[in-house]
Structure 1
Amino acid sequence: MTKIFNSPSKYVQGPGELGRLADYVAPLGSRPLVLNTRSGRERVGVLVDDGLDAGSLAPLDVDFNGECSQGEVDRLEAIARDADCDVVIGVGGGKTLDTAKACAYQLGAPVVICPTIASSDAPCSALSVLYTDEGEFDRYLFLPANPNVVVMDTRVIAASPVRLTVSGMGDALATYFEAKATHDSDGSTCAGGKGGLAALSLAKLCYDTLMADGVKAKVALEAGTLTPAVEHIIEANTLLSGIGFESSGLAAAHAIHNGLTRLPECHPYFHGEKVAFGTLAQLVLADAPTDQLEEVLGFCIEVGLPVTLGELGVESLTRDRALLVAEAACAPGDTMGNMPFDVTPEMVADAILAADALGHYYLD
Structure 2
Amino acid sequence: MPNPKQITERYFQSPSKYIQGPAAIKNAAQYLEKLGKKPLLTCDSIVYNIAGKNLITALETHGFQVTRAEFAGETSGKEIDRLADLGKNSDFVIGLGGGKTMDTAKAVASKLNLAVAILPTTASTDAPAPRSPSSTPRPASSSGMGDAIATNVEARLCKSSLNFGGGLPTEVATAIGNKCEEILLAFGKQAYEANKAQVVTPAFEKVVEANTLMSGLGFESGGLAAAHAIHNGFTAIPGLHHLLHGEKVAFGTVAQLILVGTPTAELEVYLAFMLSVDLPFTFAQLGIPEVTNEELRRVATLSCAPGETIWNMEDPVTEELVFGAIKAADAVGREFIARSGKKL
What TM-score bracket applies, with the shorter chain setting the length? over 0.9
- Paired residues of 2:236 and 2:295 also in contact (CA < 8 A): no
Q: Show the counterpart of 2:295.
A: 321
Correspondence for 1:34: 41
- Change in Cα spacing, 1:340 to 1:270, as seen in structure 2 (3 Å) is same
**Counterpart residue type for residue 362 of structure 1:** F
The answer on 1:108 being equivalent to 2:113 is: yes
Q: How many residues align?
A: 331
- Is 1:180–2:156 an aligned residue pair? yes
How much has 1:69 moved relative to structure 2?
Answer: 3.2
Match of 2:93 in 1: 88
Cα displacement (A) at 1:46 = 2.4
CA deviation after TM superposition for structure 1 residue 162, in Å: 1.9
Structure 1 residue identity aligned to 2:84? E
Question: Does the aligned pair in 1 maintain the 2:39–2:65 contact within 8 Å?
Answer: yes
Q: Map 1:51-130 onto structure 2 (within 5 A).
A: 51-81=58-88, 84-121=89-126, 123-124=127-128
The CA distance in 1 between the partners of 2:325 and 2:132, in whole Å, is: 39
Change (3 A) 1:2 1:228: same
Matching of residues 279-294 of structure 1 within 5 Å: 279-294=253-268
**Structure 1: 5+ residue stretches without partners:** 125-149
Q: 1:259 to 1:71 in 2, by over 3 A?
A: farther
> Deviation of residue 247 (structure 1)?
0.4
Could you tell me which amino acid in structure 2 is paired with residue 344 of structure 1? T
Structure 1 residues 153-302: aligned runs within 5 Å: 153-154=132-133, 156=134, 159-183=135-159, 186-302=160-276
Runs (4+) of structure 1 moved beyond 3 Å? none
Structure 2 partner of 1:46: 53
CA contact (8 A) 1:6 1:246 kept: yes
Q: Structure 1 length as normaliser, TM-score?
A: 0.88
2:305 partner SS: coil
Other-structure match for 1:152:
131
Match of 1:10 in 2: 17
In 2, the alpha carbon distance for the partners of 1:226 and 1:95 equals 26
1:23 aligns with 2:34: no
Deviations 1:67-117 (A, max 9, x none): 233333233223323xx2221101111221121112211221100011111
Of stretches 41-50 and 110-119 in structure 1, the one that deviates more from structure 2 is 41-50
Q: Which amino acid aligns with 2:137?
A: P
TM-score between both structures, scaled by the size of structure 2 = 0.93
What secondary structure, in the 3-state scheme, does the structure 2 residue paired with 1:17 have?
Answer: coil
Opposite residue 273 of structure 2, the aligned amino acid is F
Secondary structure at 2:125 match in 1: coil
39-48 vs 268-277, which deviates more?
39-48
Mean Cα displacement is larger for which, 322-331 or 61-70? Answer: 61-70
Counterpart contact for 2:60–2:66, Cα < 8 Å: no
What's the CA shift string for 1:233-275, capped at 9, x where partnerless?
0000000100001101000001111111221111111000010
Letter of the aligned partner of 1:109 in structure 2?
L
Residues of 1 paired with 2:326 and 2:85: CA distance? 42
Q: Quick check: 1:120–1:271 contact (8 Å CA) kept in 2?
A: no
1:162, 1:222 within 8 Å by CA — same for their partners in 2?
yes
- The whole-number CA distance in structure 2 between the counterparts of 1:52 and 1:246 is 31
Q: Which has the higher strand share?
A: 1
User: What SS class does the counterpart of residue 46 from structure 2 fall into?
Assistant: helix
**Offset, 1:30:** 2.7
The alignment-based identity, stated in percent, is 44
* CA distance in structure 1 between the partners assigned to 2:285 and 2:319 by the alignment: 23
In the alignment, is the contact (CA less than 8 A) between 2:52 and 2:96 conserved in 1?
no
Distance in 1, matches of 2:245 and 2:81, equals 23
Question: How far has the Cα of 1:361 moved from its partner?
Answer: 1.4
- Matched letter for residue 207 of structure 2: I
Q: Which residue of 2 aligns with 1:339?
A: 313
| Amino acid in the other structure paired with 1:17 | A
Tell me the distance in 2 between the aligned counterparts of 1:297 and 1:341. Answer: 22
CA displacement at 1:340 relative to structure 2: 1.6
Q: In 2, distance between residues paired with 1:262 and 1:105?
A: 31
Name the CA distance, whole Å, in 1 between partners of 2:308 and 2:145.
Answer: 22
AA paired with 2:73? G
